[in-house]
């Protein structure tokens, strides 16, 4: 886990519009999760190859990565929601 970094970024959604995304960056690949008009998308980048997965596909193929990203996504969502309520 020492070589995993998390960042917020902008990803082009499957609908062609920019979306806010949570990224998990490792030395060999980059994962991004974002929500677009078609639902939640998990995007995997290895060099120039890009693959999109639905939540169900992620649970079936990459459960460990799904859990890490879902946990971070929930943490950020709670922070954002609590910040909005304070204002």
pLDDT in tens, 11-63: 999 999 999 999 999 999 999 999 888 888 999 999 989 999 999 999 999 99
CA dist., res. 87 & res. 80, Å (int): 11
pLDDT of residue 84: 58
Are 8 and 20 spatial neighbours (Cβ–Cβ below 8 Å)? yes
**d(Cα 71, Cα 29) in Å, to the nearest integer?**
19
The residue with greater pLDDT, 71 or 83, is 71
In this predicted structure, the answer to whether residue 79 has a pLDDT above a threshold of 70 is: yes
Q: What is the pTM assigned to this prediction?
A: 0.81
Sequence spans of domains, the chain: 5-82
| Residue 77: band (very low, low, confident or very high) from pLDDT cuts 50, 70, 90 | confident
């Amino acid at each position: 886990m020492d070589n995993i970094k998390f960042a917020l970024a902008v990803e082009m959604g499957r609908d062609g519009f920019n979306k806010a995304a949570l990224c998990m960056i490792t030395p060999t690949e980059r994962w991004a999760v974002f929500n677009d008009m078609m639902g939640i998308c998990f995007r995997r980048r290895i060099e120039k190859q890009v693959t999109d997965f639905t939540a169900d596909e992620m649970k079936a193929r990459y459960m460990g990565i799904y859990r890490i990203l879902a946990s971070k996504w929930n943490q950020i969502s709670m922070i954002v929601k609590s910040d909005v309520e304070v204002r």
